[in-house]
Structure 1
Amino acid sequence: MSMFYTGRHRAPSKSSQTGKRAGATMVAVAAVSLGTATAGAQSATAAPATQSTQSATAKASFSGLVKQGSRGTVVKQIQRKVGVTADGVFGPKTKAAVKRWQKRKGLAADGVVGPRTGTKMGLKSSSSRSTSTRSSRTSTRSVSSSSVLSTASSLVGTPYRSGGTTPSGFDCSGFTSYVYARHGKTLPRTAEQQRRSTSRVSSPRAGDLVFFGAPAWHVGIYAGNGKMYDAGNSRVDTTKRAIWTSAVTYGRV
């Protein structure tokens, strides 16, 4: 009888299986490493764009509103930009210069430094906030100037008294202090102290203080049209009269 031998399939050796598993593991690790490296590269590529965006955001634009009647440091910055005397007071000359500047830059020439004009000038938001507050206070003073004059007018005829600070008798600085106190404004006691505490202006308006001398030896309240309210001396009661000299300065409370 013939006998046939049928060979059995041999099971793979342990060393062969281990090698395959090790190879698969290495491929997986390589794939993970490649993915991590790719993600890192993408992140590195995106980083400059993010930084650029943050940098652009960091450059704060101007968000204030500065116009005629405003004053302060930011007004001086504007005045330097438009080429006028930097006295910190936004008057008619500054407004006209701002209009010219806006026209040259292709902006709406309204003479008001708002967000677009301010940003174009390179002004900072912190400055604008400060100035907006000052501008608001200036506006309040402007509105109340007629009330200041009304109070001053009501005291005409009050006798002069050296050192006087009440309606029973005033000296010059006592009179101005009393009038402004009635409107919530505190002034120092002497004429010179008042001169130093106010903002000097070249274009006075009714309600500003008018000072004689530097150091100031006399002070009154400007009434407009070259006149003032003041408590003169023992020969002159509190009155409204013409300013008799051009050698005066003006201060805004």
Structure 2
Amino acid sequence: MKKVLVTSVVAAGLFFAAPQMADAALGDQTLRVGMNHTDVTELQEALKSKGYFTFDRATGYYGSITADAVRKFQASNGLKVDGIAGPQTFAALKANGSTVTAASSNTSSATLRTGARGAAVTNLQQQLRNHGHFSSAVDGVFGPLTERAVRSFQSARGLSVDGIAGPQTFSALGQAAVSGSTTQAATSTTLRQGTRSAEVTRLQDRLRQLGYFNSNSTGYYGTVTTESVRRFQAVNKLQVDGVAGPQTLSRLHGSNAAAASTATETVSASSSNSSIGSRIVSSANRYIGTPYRYGGTTTAGFDCSGFIQRVFSDVGVSVPRTALQQWNSGTTVAAPSVGDIVFFATVNSGPSHNGIYIGNNQFIHSGSSTGVTVTSMSNSYWSARYLGAKRIH
């Protein structure tokens, strides 16, 4: 049980320390929310074989889905229902004697970047997936998709956005995992539109697990999150106000939360437009606070059309570079919907400024004096003349 094997990964001319390996047996340790371990993988597989763990695959991360599966198993087997996999739960699963080779999740001493390969990258991808920032195959290869996921996570956590997974990024991943281990903080507060916090990230994570939130978690409570909360409240027969108060949060993080799949929805062209519009706004929210930079197209600074181009690129939609080109390529709509581009004339009669409509007569844009921010349409931004809205998706 004490033998340790240390391996290393060579990639792009650099050496990266891979996780240590140690023999372990399922049941030797108590498993609970926030843990990332191959013992958790085996627990999930055992629960899946008995019909309690319904996620499409074992992840190795002990999140709310695993805790709910353990609770259901415990309730069915007359055990104490606490969502913690301890000796009695393992005995009931008849899994105490099985052994696995366990990989430690401690990779915080490594620095991973594009070109890296191996178990350390696999673990990074899995953690990013657990927090909703990585949706591709976990393959142990640090390529463009992994870099983009790291950037997304860094942006959501207020870190330096460089796409490199170093100590700060790994530390934030660990803190994010630990923050998922309790619902006390979440259920004792009220979250509403405009809030930015780790509690909002956790809210979004849970809404996505239940099928109400289809974007990456950003930590910002915008119109997309508000709409998702409204849908959750409606399906779960709560007061529908889009505000996540104690009652909503208690139901959301409880074992009796109803998933979106329990509601009957009609799929149509309008709902499709609404879905992509929500994803556009979710992406835009991630960049709030980014400074303005003339000609800017990166997170170091955006101009108005550079911001539009980046946001639409995030959701897989290609748009031209300038405000005028974006105006010419769009389809005119009578009234803007969430995700449409609104245009203004600021220096002449043509379109010279634009932003993304987010609902409630508001739009998000990169202004020369504000950077990326939310502004009311009624404020007549820069005393500009509103020209209309276009749809490019």
TM-score for the superposition, normalised by structure 2: 0.29
- For the pair shown, the structure with the greater C-alpha radius of gyration is 1
Relative contact order, CA 8 A, sep 6+: which one is greater? 1
TM-score for the superposition, normalised by structure 1: 0.44
Q: Name the structure with the higher helix share.
A: 1
